[in-house]
Amino acid sequence: MADTGKRQRVDQDGADVPAAPKISVQEAMPQYYAKLFPCQHLAKWLAYGNDSKHAQADAHFFNRREFCFTLPGDIFVRYQAFKDAAALQEAIQRRCPAKIDIGPVYSASPADRHKFGAAFQPVERELVFDIDLTDYDDVRTCGSGGHICARCWPLMAVAVKIIDQGLREEFGFQHILWVYSGRRGVHCWVCDPSARQLPDEARGAIANWFAVYKGHEEGKAKIGLVGTTKHPAVERAAGILREAWVETILPAQRLLEDGPACEALLRYLPDEGLVAAVREQWKKDSRKRNMTADVNISRWRSLEAVVKAKIGEEKKSKGAANYKALAPLERCLDEIVLAHAYPRLDMEVSKKMNHLLKAPFCVHPATGKVCVPLEPPAVDAFDPDAVPTVGSLLGELQAAAAAREAEGGDAKPPSEPWRETAMAEAVASFERCLLAGLAGANREELAQRTRVAVAVGQMGVDF
Protein backbone atom coordinates (compact mmCIF):
# COMPACT_ATOMS: atom_id res chain seq x y z
CA MET A 1 0.00 0.00 0.00
CA ALA A 2 1.56 3.26 -1.07
CA ASP A 3 1.78 6.21 1.27
CA THR A 4 -0.36 8.82 -0.47
CA GLY A 5 0.84 11.65 1.73
CA LYS A 6 -2.75 12.95 2.07
CA ARG A 7 -2.76 13.19 5.86
CA GLN A 8 -2.37 16.77 7.06
CA ARG A 9 0.06 17.49 9.89
CA VAL A 10 0.46 20.57 12.04
CA ASP A 11 3.79 22.25 12.70
CA GLN A 12 4.90 23.67 16.05
CA ASP A 13 3.21 27.01 15.35
CA GLY A 14 -0.13 25.36 14.66
CA ALA A 15 -0.10 25.90 10.90
CA ASP A 16 -1.04 23.14 8.50
CA VAL A 17 1.92 21.43 6.89
CA PRO A 18 1.44 20.78 3.18
CA ALA A 19 1.02 17.16 2.19
CA ALA A 20 3.98 15.47 0.58
CA PRO A 21 3.90 14.62 -3.11
CA LYS A 22 1.82 11.58 -3.99
CA ILE A 23 4.63 9.11 -4.40
CA SER A 24 4.95 5.54 -3.20
CA VAL A 25 6.95 4.55 -0.16
CA GLN A 26 9.58 2.96 -2.40
CA GLU A 27 9.92 6.15 -4.47
CA ALA A 28 10.26 8.23 -1.30
CA MET A 29 12.99 6.13 0.31
CA PRO A 30 16.00 7.79 -1.42
CA GLN A 31 14.99 11.14 0.07
CA TYR A 32 14.22 9.54 3.41
CA TYR A 33 17.65 7.95 3.70
CA ALA A 34 19.44 11.06 2.43
CA LYS A 35 17.69 13.60 4.69
CA LEU A 36 15.72 11.91 7.45
CA PHE A 37 17.27 8.62 8.56
CA PRO A 38 19.38 9.22 11.75
CA CYS A 39 22.16 6.84 10.77
CA GLN A 40 24.74 8.46 13.05
CA HIS A 41 22.57 7.84 16.11
CA LEU A 42 22.00 4.24 15.12
CA ALA A 43 25.73 3.67 14.66
CA LYS A 44 26.53 5.43 17.95
CA TRP A 45 24.28 2.96 19.74
CA LEU A 46 25.70 -0.14 18.03
CA ALA A 47 29.32 0.91 18.59
CA TYR A 48 28.89 0.78 22.38
CA GLY A 49 31.74 3.22 22.96
CA ASN A 50 34.16 1.41 20.67
CA ASP A 51 34.11 4.39 18.30
CA SER A 52 36.05 6.37 20.91
CA LYS A 53 39.80 6.88 21.28
CA HIS A 54 39.91 4.95 24.55
CA ALA A 55 42.90 2.62 24.76
CA GLN A 56 40.64 -0.40 25.23
CA ALA A 57 38.17 0.50 22.49
CA ASP A 58 37.85 -2.25 19.89
CA ALA A 59 38.29 -0.53 16.53
CA HIS A 60 36.94 -3.61 14.74
CA PHE A 61 33.83 -4.03 16.92
CA PHE A 62 31.40 -2.23 14.61
CA ASN A 63 32.82 -4.04 11.58
CA ARG A 64 31.89 -7.40 13.12
CA ARG A 65 28.18 -6.52 13.32
CA GLU A 66 25.84 -8.09 10.76
CA PHE A 67 23.35 -5.95 8.84
CA CYS A 68 20.81 -7.43 6.48
CA PHE A 69 19.29 -5.35 3.68
CA THR A 70 15.96 -6.26 2.13
CA LEU A 71 16.03 -4.77 -1.34
CA PRO A 72 12.95 -4.08 -3.50
CA GLY A 73 11.51 -7.36 -4.72
CA ASP A 74 12.15 -9.09 -1.35
CA ILE A 75 15.81 -9.69 -2.12
CA PHE A 76 17.61 -10.45 1.15
CA VAL A 77 21.28 -9.46 1.37
CA ARG A 78 22.67 -10.85 4.61
CA TYR A 79 26.07 -10.58 6.29
CA GLN A 80 26.63 -6.95 5.34
CA ALA A 81 29.44 -5.39 7.39
CA PHE A 82 30.70 -1.79 7.58
CA LYS A 83 33.79 -0.16 8.95
CA ASP A 84 31.98 2.74 10.59
CA ALA A 85 28.89 4.96 10.52
CA ALA A 86 29.96 6.71 7.34
CA ALA A 87 30.32 3.43 5.46
CA LEU A 88 26.94 2.25 6.72
CA GLN A 89 25.28 5.49 5.69
CA GLU A 90 26.85 5.40 2.23
CA ALA A 91 25.65 1.83 1.64
CA ILE A 92 22.13 2.61 2.83
CA GLN A 93 21.83 5.63 0.55
CA ARG A 94 23.31 3.76 -2.39
CA ARG A 95 21.27 0.54 -2.07
CA CYS A 96 18.11 2.10 -0.60
CA PRO A 97 16.85 -1.02 1.22
CA ALA A 98 13.16 -1.48 1.88
CA LYS A 99 14.13 -2.78 5.32
CA ILE A 100 17.26 -2.96 7.48
CA ASP A 101 17.68 -5.81 9.96
CA ILE A 102 20.31 -5.91 12.68
CA GLY A 103 22.05 -9.16 13.59
CA PRO A 104 24.74 -10.12 16.10
CA VAL A 105 28.37 -9.17 16.49
CA TYR A 106 30.43 -12.07 15.18
CA SER A 107 33.91 -13.36 15.97
CA ALA A 108 35.07 -11.85 12.66
CA SER A 109 33.67 -9.51 10.07
CA PRO A 110 30.64 -11.12 8.38
CA ALA A 111 32.21 -10.18 5.05
CA ASP A 112 35.07 -12.58 5.87
CA ARG A 113 32.93 -15.43 7.24
CA HIS A 114 34.03 -17.92 4.54
CA LYS A 115 37.65 -17.66 5.71
CA PHE A 116 36.85 -18.98 9.18
CA GLY A 117 34.42 -21.85 8.64
CA ALA A 118 33.00 -23.23 11.90
CA ALA A 119 35.06 -20.74 13.91
CA PHE A 120 32.80 -17.96 12.61
CA GLN A 121 30.30 -17.61 15.47
CA PRO A 122 28.11 -14.90 17.04
CA VAL A 123 29.72 -13.58 20.22
CA GLU A 124 27.45 -10.73 21.27
CA ARG A 125 23.91 -9.57 20.62
CA GLU A 126 21.21 -7.57 22.37
CA LEU A 127 18.52 -9.60 24.12
CA VAL A 128 15.46 -8.94 21.96
CA PHE A 129 11.70 -9.47 22.18
CA ASP A 130 9.00 -9.25 19.52
CA ILE A 131 5.28 -8.89 20.29
CA ASP A 132 2.75 -8.82 17.46
CA LEU A 133 -0.98 -8.08 17.62
CA THR A 134 -1.62 -10.90 15.16
CA ASP A 135 -1.05 -13.29 18.07
CA TYR A 136 -4.05 -11.72 19.82
CA ASP A 137 -6.50 -12.33 16.96
CA ASP A 138 -8.46 -14.81 19.06
CA VAL A 139 -9.22 -12.19 21.73
CA ARG A 140 -9.44 -8.87 19.91
CA THR A 141 -12.75 -7.98 18.32
CA CYS A 142 -11.79 -4.77 16.52
CA GLY A 143 -9.88 -6.45 13.67
CA SER A 144 -7.31 -9.07 12.78
CA GLY A 145 -4.14 -9.59 10.78
CA GLY A 146 -2.39 -6.30 10.01
CA HIS A 147 -5.12 -4.24 11.68
CA ILE A 148 -4.17 -1.89 14.52
CA CYS A 149 -6.23 0.86 16.15
CA ALA A 150 -6.80 2.71 19.42
CA ARG A 151 -9.02 -0.14 20.64
CA CYS A 152 -6.36 -2.86 20.41
CA TRP A 153 -3.29 -0.70 21.22
CA PRO A 154 -3.93 -1.18 25.00
CA LEU A 155 -2.90 -4.82 24.50
CA MET A 156 0.49 -3.64 23.30
CA ALA A 157 0.70 -0.98 26.01
CA VAL A 158 0.28 -3.46 28.87
CA ALA A 159 2.74 -5.83 27.18
CA VAL A 160 5.38 -3.10 27.10
CA LYS A 161 4.82 -2.18 30.74
CA ILE A 162 4.82 -5.77 32.00
CA ILE A 163 7.93 -6.91 30.12
CA ASP A 164 9.80 -3.67 30.81
CA GLN A 165 9.07 -3.83 34.53
CA GLY A 166 10.04 -7.49 34.72
CA LEU A 167 13.32 -6.93 32.89
CA ARG A 168 14.26 -4.09 35.21
CA GLU A 169 13.04 -5.36 38.57
CA GLU A 170 13.53 -9.11 38.24
CA PHE A 171 16.65 -9.22 36.06
CA GLY A 172 18.26 -5.86 36.84
CA PHE A 173 18.59 -4.65 33.25
CA GLN A 174 18.65 -0.88 32.77
CA HIS A 175 19.32 -0.05 29.12
CA ILE A 176 16.14 -1.05 27.33
CA LEU A 177 14.80 0.32 24.06
CA TRP A 178 11.20 -0.20 22.91
CA VAL A 179 10.31 0.45 19.27
CA TYR A 180 6.99 0.50 17.42
CA SER A 181 7.30 -1.96 14.54
CA GLY A 182 5.63 0.35 12.02
CA ARG A 183 2.48 -1.72 11.66
CA ARG A 184 1.00 -3.95 14.36
CA GLY A 185 3.56 -4.69 17.05
CA VAL A 186 6.51 -3.70 19.20
CA HIS A 187 10.17 -4.70 19.51
CA CYS A 188 12.36 -4.61 22.60
CA TRP A 189 16.17 -4.33 22.68
CA VAL A 190 17.96 -4.99 26.00
CA CYS A 191 21.40 -3.44 25.62
CA ASP A 192 23.15 -3.95 28.98
CA PRO A 193 26.58 -5.61 28.60
CA SER A 194 25.37 -8.59 30.64
CA ALA A 195 22.36 -9.01 28.32
CA ARG A 196 24.42 -8.74 25.13
CA GLN A 197 26.75 -11.50 26.29
CA LEU A 198 24.07 -14.03 27.25
CA PRO A 199 24.38 -17.47 25.61
CA ASP A 200 21.39 -18.90 23.79
CA GLU A 201 20.40 -21.09 26.73
CA ALA A 202 20.11 -18.08 29.06
CA ARG A 203 18.16 -16.11 26.46
CA GLY A 204 15.69 -18.96 26.18
CA ALA A 205 15.41 -19.15 29.97
CA ILE A 206 14.56 -15.45 30.27
CA ALA A 207 12.01 -15.67 27.47
CA ASN A 208 10.45 -18.72 29.11
CA TRP A 209 10.27 -16.89 32.43
CA PHE A 210 7.87 -14.43 30.79
CA ALA A 211 6.01 -17.10 28.79
CA VAL A 212 2.90 -17.52 30.91
CA TYR A 213 0.81 -17.77 27.74
CA LYS A 214 1.31 -21.29 26.31
CA GLY A 215 -0.82 -21.30 23.16
CA HIS A 216 -4.34 -22.68 22.70
CA GLU A 217 -6.10 -25.92 23.52
CA GLU A 218 -9.80 -26.81 23.12
CA GLY A 219 -10.80 -23.24 22.33
CA LYS A 220 -9.06 -21.70 25.34
CA ALA A 221 -5.67 -20.12 25.92
CA LYS A 222 -3.34 -22.30 27.96
CA ILE A 223 -2.02 -20.31 30.90
CA GLY A 224 0.91 -21.50 33.02
CA LEU A 225 -0.78 -21.39 36.42
CA VAL A 226 -0.40 -24.28 38.87
CA GLY A 227 -2.82 -24.47 41.78
CA THR A 228 -3.38 -21.11 43.47
CA THR A 229 0.30 -20.09 43.52
CA LYS A 230 1.12 -17.45 40.95
CA HIS A 231 4.21 -17.53 38.75
CA PRO A 232 6.54 -14.63 39.71
CA ALA A 233 5.89 -13.06 36.29
CA VAL A 234 2.17 -13.15 37.02
CA GLU A 235 2.62 -11.57 40.43
CA ARG A 236 4.64 -8.79 38.82
CA ALA A 237 2.02 -8.24 36.12
CA ALA A 238 -1.12 -8.59 38.23
CA GLY A 239 -1.51 -4.96 39.27
CA ILE A 240 -0.91 -3.64 35.76
CA LEU A 241 -3.25 -6.17 34.19
CA ARG A 242 -6.17 -5.75 36.56
CA GLU A 243 -6.22 -1.99 36.11
CA ALA A 244 -5.82 -2.10 32.35
CA TRP A 245 -8.35 -4.94 31.98
CA VAL A 246 -11.22 -2.97 33.50
CA GLU A 247 -10.26 0.52 32.37
CA THR A 248 -9.26 -0.09 28.76
CA ILE A 249 -9.09 -3.62 27.36
CA LEU A 250 -12.47 -4.99 28.39
CA PRO A 251 -14.56 -1.98 27.26
CA ALA A 252 -12.42 -1.33 24.17
CA GLN A 253 -12.77 -4.90 22.91
CA ARG A 254 -16.40 -5.24 24.12
CA LEU A 255 -15.66 -8.74 25.31
CA LEU A 256 -18.76 -9.18 27.47
CA GLU A 257 -21.36 -7.95 25.03
CA ASP A 258 -23.49 -10.83 23.76
CA GLY A 259 -21.68 -12.71 21.01
CA PRO A 260 -18.80 -15.10 20.31
CA ALA A 261 -16.24 -13.17 22.42
CA CYS A 262 -18.50 -13.35 25.48
CA GLU A 263 -19.16 -17.07 24.99
CA ALA A 264 -15.44 -17.72 24.64
CA LEU A 265 -14.71 -15.81 27.85
CA LEU A 266 -17.30 -17.77 29.84
CA ARG A 267 -15.54 -21.03 28.91
CA TYR A 268 -12.85 -20.15 31.45
CA LEU A 269 -15.32 -20.66 34.31
CA PRO A 270 -14.77 -24.15 35.76
CA ASP A 271 -18.32 -25.54 35.62
CA GLU A 272 -21.65 -25.04 33.90
CA GLY A 273 -23.41 -24.29 37.16
CA LEU A 274 -21.21 -21.26 37.66
CA VAL A 275 -21.79 -20.11 34.08
CA ALA A 276 -25.56 -20.39 34.63
CA ALA A 277 -25.29 -18.37 37.85
CA VAL A 278 -23.36 -15.64 36.03
CA ARG A 279 -25.94 -15.50 33.23
CA GLU A 280 -28.76 -15.28 35.77
CA GLN A 281 -27.02 -12.42 37.55
CA TRP A 282 -26.59 -10.60 34.24
CA LYS A 283 -30.33 -10.93 33.58
CA LYS A 284 -31.07 -9.38 36.97
CA ASP A 285 -28.58 -6.59 36.29
CA SER A 286 -30.14 -5.80 32.91
CA ARG A 287 -33.46 -4.97 34.56
CA LYS A 288 -31.91 -2.42 36.89
CA ARG A 289 -28.66 -1.43 35.20
CA ASN A 290 -27.76 2.23 34.88
CA MET A 291 -27.88 2.68 31.11
CA THR A 292 -24.94 5.09 31.23
CA ALA A 293 -22.65 2.37 32.64
CA ASP A 294 -20.56 0.27 30.26
CA VAL A 295 -22.15 -3.17 30.02
CA ASN A 296 -18.73 -4.85 29.77
CA ILE A 297 -17.54 -3.37 33.06
CA SER A 298 -20.80 -3.98 34.93
CA ARG A 299 -20.96 -7.58 33.70
CA TRP A 300 -17.36 -8.17 34.76
CA ARG A 301 -18.05 -6.85 38.25
CA SER A 302 -21.04 -9.17 38.51
CA LEU A 303 -19.00 -12.13 37.22
CA GLU A 304 -16.35 -11.41 39.85
CA ALA A 305 -18.99 -11.23 42.57
CA VAL A 306 -20.58 -14.55 41.56
CA VAL A 307 -17.22 -16.32 41.48
CA LYS A 308 -16.14 -14.92 44.86
CA ALA A 309 -19.48 -15.86 46.38
CA LYS A 310 -19.04 -19.41 45.09
CA ILE A 311 -15.55 -19.56 46.62
CA GLY A 312 -17.04 -18.45 49.94
CA GLU A 313 -19.69 -21.16 49.75
CA GLU A 314 -17.10 -23.85 49.00
CA LYS A 315 -14.93 -22.78 51.92
CA LYS A 316 -17.90 -22.71 54.27
CA SER A 317 -19.30 -26.08 53.25
CA LYS A 318 -16.16 -28.08 52.51
CA GLY A 319 -13.39 -26.16 54.23
CA ALA A 320 -10.48 -24.10 52.88
CA ALA A 321 -8.37 -27.26 52.74
CA ASN A 322 -10.53 -28.65 49.94
CA TYR A 323 -7.83 -27.76 47.43
CA LYS A 324 -9.22 -29.75 44.52
CA ALA A 325 -12.52 -27.85 44.50
CA LEU A 326 -11.10 -24.43 45.32
CA ALA A 327 -8.10 -24.22 42.98
CA PRO A 328 -10.04 -23.91 39.69
CA LEU A 329 -12.36 -21.34 41.24
CA GLU A 330 -9.62 -19.24 42.78
CA ARG A 331 -7.60 -19.01 39.60
CA CYS A 332 -10.37 -18.65 36.98
CA LEU A 333 -10.56 -14.84 37.23
CA ASP A 334 -6.79 -14.58 36.77
CA GLU A 335 -6.98 -17.04 33.88
CA ILE A 336 -9.54 -14.89 32.08
CA VAL A 337 -7.45 -11.74 32.39
CA LEU A 338 -4.17 -13.46 31.55
CA ALA A 339 -5.64 -15.33 28.59
CA HIS A 340 -6.85 -12.08 27.06
CA ALA A 341 -4.19 -9.57 28.10
CA TYR A 342 -0.87 -11.13 29.15
CA PRO A 343 2.00 -10.49 26.69
CA ARG A 344 2.30 -13.04 23.89
CA LEU A 345 5.95 -13.22 22.87
CA ASP A 346 7.37 -14.58 19.64
CA MET A 347 9.64 -16.92 21.55
CA GLU A 348 11.95 -17.86 18.70
CA VAL A 349 13.06 -14.24 18.25
CA SER A 350 14.42 -14.13 21.80
CA LYS A 351 16.07 -17.55 22.04
CA LYS A 352 18.88 -17.29 19.51
CA MET A 353 21.72 -14.82 19.43
CA ASN A 354 21.84 -14.84 15.62
CA HIS A 355 18.21 -13.85 15.07
CA LEU A 356 17.69 -10.74 12.96
CA LEU A 357 15.41 -7.88 14.06
CA LYS A 358 14.31 -4.78 12.19
CA ALA A 359 16.31 -1.65 12.98
CA PRO A 360 14.72 1.37 14.64
CA PHE A 361 13.80 4.21 12.25
CA CYS A 362 13.13 1.85 9.35
CA VAL A 363 10.02 2.60 7.30
CA HIS A 364 7.40 -0.13 7.11
CA PRO A 365 6.89 -0.74 3.39
CA ALA A 366 3.15 -1.44 3.70
CA THR A 367 2.17 1.50 5.92
CA GLY A 368 4.92 4.04 5.28
CA LYS A 369 5.20 4.51 9.06
CA VAL A 370 8.55 5.05 10.74
CA CYS A 371 9.61 2.58 13.44
CA VAL A 372 9.81 5.14 16.24
CA PRO A 373 10.96 4.56 19.84
CA LEU A 374 8.38 4.10 22.60
CA GLU A 375 8.71 5.39 26.15
CA PRO A 376 7.08 2.95 28.61
CA PRO A 377 5.78 5.64 31.03
CA ALA A 378 3.87 7.23 28.13
CA VAL A 379 2.98 4.09 26.18
CA ASP A 380 -0.75 4.30 27.01
CA ALA A 381 -0.98 7.62 25.20
CA PHE A 382 0.88 6.41 22.10
CA ASP A 383 -1.28 6.62 18.98
CA PRO A 384 -0.18 4.30 16.15
CA ASP A 385 -2.25 6.36 13.71
CA ALA A 386 -0.27 9.51 14.55
CA VAL A 387 3.15 7.99 13.84
CA PRO A 388 5.15 9.96 11.27
CA THR A 389 5.14 8.47 7.78
CA VAL A 390 7.74 8.92 5.11
CA GLY A 391 5.18 11.01 3.22
CA SER A 392 4.34 13.28 6.15
CA LEU A 393 8.02 13.84 6.92
CA LEU A 394 8.79 14.84 3.35
CA GLY A 395 5.87 17.25 3.56
CA GLU A 396 7.40 18.81 6.66
CA LEU A 397 10.72 19.22 4.86
CA GLN A 398 8.91 21.01 2.03
CA ALA A 399 7.14 23.27 4.51
CA ALA A 400 10.42 24.15 6.25
CA ALA A 401 12.05 24.97 2.90
CA ALA A 402 9.07 27.10 1.90
CA ALA A 403 9.23 28.98 5.21
CA ARG A 404 12.90 29.78 4.69
CA GLU A 405 12.20 30.98 1.17
CA ALA A 406 9.36 33.18 2.42
CA GLU A 407 11.76 34.79 4.88
CA GLY A 408 14.08 35.81 2.07
CA GLY A 409 16.08 32.63 1.55
CA ASP A 410 18.98 33.73 3.77
CA ALA A 411 18.48 31.05 6.42
CA LYS A 412 20.44 27.90 5.72
CA PRO A 413 18.88 24.47 6.25
CA PRO A 414 20.31 22.50 9.18
CA SER A 415 23.06 19.97 8.47
CA GLU A 416 20.64 17.31 9.70
CA PRO A 417 17.36 18.07 7.91
CA TRP A 418 15.36 15.67 10.11
CA ARG A 419 15.60 18.26 12.88
CA GLU A 420 12.94 20.29 11.04
CA THR A 421 10.43 17.43 11.15
CA ALA A 422 8.61 15.15 13.57
CA MET A 423 11.66 12.89 13.36
CA ALA A 424 13.34 15.28 15.80
CA GLU A 425 11.10 14.12 18.65
CA ALA A 426 11.60 10.47 17.69
CA VAL A 427 15.39 10.90 17.82
CA ALA A 428 15.12 12.81 21.11
CA SER A 429 13.15 9.88 22.53
CA PHE A 430 15.88 7.50 21.33
CA GLU A 431 18.45 9.62 23.16
CA ARG A 432 16.38 9.77 26.35
CA CYS A 433 15.46 6.10 26.41
CA LEU A 434 18.81 4.62 25.44
CA LEU A 435 21.81 6.68 24.39
CA ALA A 436 22.01 8.95 27.45
CA GLY A 437 22.10 6.10 29.95
CA LEU A 438 24.16 3.83 27.74
CA ALA A 439 27.03 6.34 27.58
CA GLY A 440 27.91 5.72 31.23
CA ALA A 441 27.64 1.95 30.81
CA ASN A 442 29.97 2.11 27.81
CA ARG A 443 32.57 4.05 29.81
CA GLU A 444 32.37 1.55 32.65
CA GLU A 445 32.74 -1.35 30.24
CA LEU A 446 35.89 0.19 28.76
CA ALA A 447 37.21 0.90 32.26
CA GLN A 448 36.63 -2.74 33.19
CA ARG A 449 38.60 -3.84 30.14
CA THR A 450 41.43 -1.61 31.34
CA ARG A 451 41.37 -3.17 34.80
CA VAL A 452 41.50 -6.65 33.29
CA ALA A 453 44.37 -5.68 30.96
CA VAL A 454 46.35 -4.30 33.89
CA ALA A 455 45.64 -7.38 35.96
CA VAL A 456 46.96 -9.75 33.31
CA GLY A 457 49.95 -7.56 32.54
CA GLN A 458 48.87 -6.34 29.12
CA MET A 459 49.02 -2.70 30.31
CA GLY A 460 51.29 -0.89 32.64
CA VAL A 461 50.09 1.44 35.40
CA ASP A 462 51.26 5.06 35.50
CA PHE A 463 51.88 6.35 39.01
Q: How far apart are CA 265 and CA 131, in angstroms?
A: 22
Q: How far apart are CA 447 and CA 444, in angstroms?
A: 5
Structure letter (DSSP) for residue 114: G
The answer to whether 66 is a known catalytic residue is: yes
The answer to whether 74 is a known catalytic residue is: no
Catalytic residue among 51, 101, 124, 132: 132
CB 178, CB 187: distance < 8 Å = yes
The answer to whether 294 is a known catalytic residue is: no
Catalytic residue among 3, 101, 126, 130: 130
- Mark residue 421 as left, alpha or beta (left: phi above 0; alpha: psi -120 to 50; beta: remaining): beta
- Phi and psi, residue 71, nearest 5°: -90, 160
CB 270, CB 191: distance < 8 Å = no
Q: Is the dihedral of CA 439, 444, 445, 450 positive or negative?
A: positive
**Which helix H or strand E contains 52, and what residues bound it?**
none
Query: By C-alpha distance, which of 66, 62, 40 is closest to 50?
Result: 62
- Mark residue 406 as left, alpha or beta (left: phi above 0; alpha: psi -120 to 50; beta: remaining): alpha
Q: Which residues, 6+ apart, have CB-to-CB distance to 354 below 8 Å?
A: 103, 104, 122, 125
Q: How far apart are CA 228 and CA 223, in angstroms?
A: 13
Query: By C-alpha distance, which of 107, 98, 33 is closest to 66?
Result: 107
Catalytic residue among 66, 346, 396, 445: 66
Which residues, listed in sequence order, are joined to residue 373 by a DSSP beta bridge?
179
Q: How far apart are CA 460 and CA 450, in angstroms?
A: 10
Q: How far apart are CA 147 and CA 366, in angstroms?
A: 12
CB 208, CB 153: distance < 8 Å = no
Residues annotated as catalytic are 66, 130, 132
